[in-house]
Amino acid sequence: MAVPVFSPPSAFTVYVFVVLGLILSQAVFCNGGLTSNFVRKVENSVDMPLESDVFSLPPGRNAPQQVHITQGDHEGRAVIVSWVTMEDPGSNEVIYWKDKSEDKKSAQGSVSKYKYHDYTSGFIHHCTIKSLEHDTKYYYQVGIGQNPRTFWFMTPPKVGPDVPYTFGVIGDLGQTYDSNTTLTHYERNPVKGQAVLFVGDLSYADNYPNHDNTRWDSWARFVERSTAYQPWIWTTGNHEIDFAPEIGETHPFKPFKHRYQTPYKASNSTEPFWYSIKRGPAYIIVLSSYSAYGKYTPQHQWLEEELPKVNRSETPWLIVLVHSPWYNSYNYHYMEGETMRVMFEPWLVQHKVDIVFSGHVHAYERSKRVSNIGYNIINGKCNPVEDKSAPIYITIGDGGNIEGLATNMTEPQPDYSAFREASFGHAILDIKNRTHAFYSWHRNQDGYAVTADSVWVCNRFWHPVVESTGGRA
């Protein structure tokens, strides 16, 4: 018989009342355990047709499309620029220059194609531009010699404990009308995100016949309006696996690996799916739910060596991204993250990780600071307990993909769950200094400035007080 890992709620949960508003629920609570009563119109998520504006091709023969950037090194002084040309390979060159500077520099990338069943990709280019100055606006150009297109980005401030920095958090995005609403709300949020922590499941191409890879192309065109201008930090989800032996495709992650690069070598990782970066005041560790993580595996060994390297005097904020949540009280993907939790949770508590962001479940949930690491098969200590060294777990798989919302929740709400709601949205983590960050979740039905859930997060290393479990800004 399986041992139940989560128990029914015990005494410390204080159930509170919610004042129901028509547009938003005005939650007044101080000690957790809230299932939002927000009333949402029930609608299916519908894919945007391929002829939609968001998928339009850039003008001109062989013009570069699907432009996206990500961090290209460990410290934030390099950027990987990626794009696709359809008719011929064209140039691999990126020309880039500092704002207000005439001094143009050039870097050479590489190009590749791949086949997937009956699909052949365009020419996929990746080029890393290095030795950039911190906190500086750069313009860059791709499609050199044919129909060039110009974009820009800001480099992050030099890594350090008290540089403010603002991350957006998005997961499970897909390419429906809801996906577009989520991206629009992120873009128009008055608290401007400077980089996106993306927690996996990008295009959902694998939901189409034969994993129709043209949906990988259309997705990249859809998100270009953000990914060309700020780095998205990629986590792989199950929809990146694209393992389909029935159509002869047996190499997991094939399309993702060709299209999206990560700076994994800079953190001594051996695969692009788990790696770390420093960005401003934050140390981001990306894990792979769908790569081996048992003892003696490369990912296990890497994480064991990685966590002690984090210097909280340099990067106070330690954040983990992983697709499948370890704490999830929805009846979807229930306990799928459990085996990885058992392997890695003790290390995350020992190293005082501030926040773990996950996707996978198409809804929103935020936990209290709890751990569940006391169990040893015979002692019966298998319930999560409040733990001030533990991270907050946030599920934000509510980007708006075709599979729709996860609305079915386990009842009653477990003690460890501070807030949950089945609505599409995005989050912002606004790091102020080494002790404080303001975290907010924004549902798509609200105005751009409205926070539907928020908490002042206190840094586990510098200011390890237990936050009040929630409240509005």
Ligand X SMILES: *[C@@H]1O[C@H](CO)[C@@H](O)[C@H](O)[C@H]1NC(C)=O
Q: Which is nearer to Fe ion, 256 or 461 (CB)?
A: 256
Of 333, 351, 360, 442, which residue is the catalytic one? 333
| List 433, 450, 458, 464, residue binding ligand X (CB under 6 A) | 433
Distance between first and last Cα of the chain:
45
287: tokens are 């894990």
State the minimum distance, in angstroms, from the CB of residue 12 to ligand X: 26
Choose among ligand X, Fe ion, none what residue 278 binds, the Cβ cut-off being 5 to 8 Å by kind.
none
The whole-angstrom separation of Cα 413 and Cα 417 is: 7
Q: Binding segment for ligand X among 23-31, 101-109, 342-350, 428-436 (CB under 6 A)?
A: 428-436
State the minimum distance, in angstroms, from the CB of residue 288 to Fe ion: 13
155: tokens are 């480099």
DSSP for 257-325, please give it: HHH----GGGGT-SSTTSEEEEETTEEEEE--TTS--STTSHHHHHHHHHGGG--TTT--EEEEE-SS-
The C-alpha R_g of the chain, in whole angstroms, comes to 22
235: tokens are 């986590």
Confirm or reject binding of residue 311 to ligand X (CB under 6 A).
yes
State the minimum distance, in angstroms, from the CB of residue 192 to ligand X: 15
Choose among ligand X, Fe ion, none what residue 179 binds, the Cβ cut-off being 5 to 8 Å by kind.
none
Q: Which is nearer to ligand X, 7 or 311 (CB)?
A: 311
Q: Which residues bind Fe ion (CB under 5 A)?
A: 201, 237-238, 360
Q: Which is nearer to Fe ion, 144 or 402 (CB)?
A: 402
- Longest Cα pair distance anywhere in the chain, in angstroms? 70
Applying CB under 6 A, the site for ligand X has a residue count of 20
Q: Which is nearer to Fe ion, 149 or 323 (CB)?
A: 323
Choose among Fe ion, ligand X, none what residue 53 binds, the Cβ cut-off being 5 to 8 Å by kind.
ligand X
State the amino acid at position 286 in one-letter form. Answer: V
Q: Which residues contact 380 (CB under 8 A, 6 or more apart)?
A: none
Residue 362 annotated to the active site: no
DSSP for 29-51, please give it: -SS--EE-----------BPPTT
The whole-angstrom separation of Cα 64 and Cα 84 is: 6
Contacts with ligand X in 362-421 (CB under 6 A)? 408
Confirm or reject binding of residue 177 to ligand X (CB under 6 A).
yes
Q: Which is nearer to ligand X, 40 or 117 (CB)?
A: 40
Q: Report the helix count and the strand count for the chain, using DSSP H and E.
A: 5, 28
The residue with tokens 């629009």 is 184
- The dihedral through the CA atoms of 262, 265, 267, 270 has a sign that is positive
Confirm or reject binding of residue 53 to ligand X (CB under 6 A).
yes
State the minimum distance, in angstroms, from the CB of residue 323 to Fe ion: 6
Q: Which is nearer to Fe ion, 139 or 208 (CB)?
A: 208
Q: Binding segment for ligand X among 46-54, 85-93, 197-205, 255-263 (CB under 6 A)?
A: 46-54
- The catalytic residues are 333
What residue ranges bind ligand X (CB under 6 A)? 48, 52-54, 74, 177, 180, 184, 267-268, 309, 311, 313-314, 331, 408, 432-433, 435-436
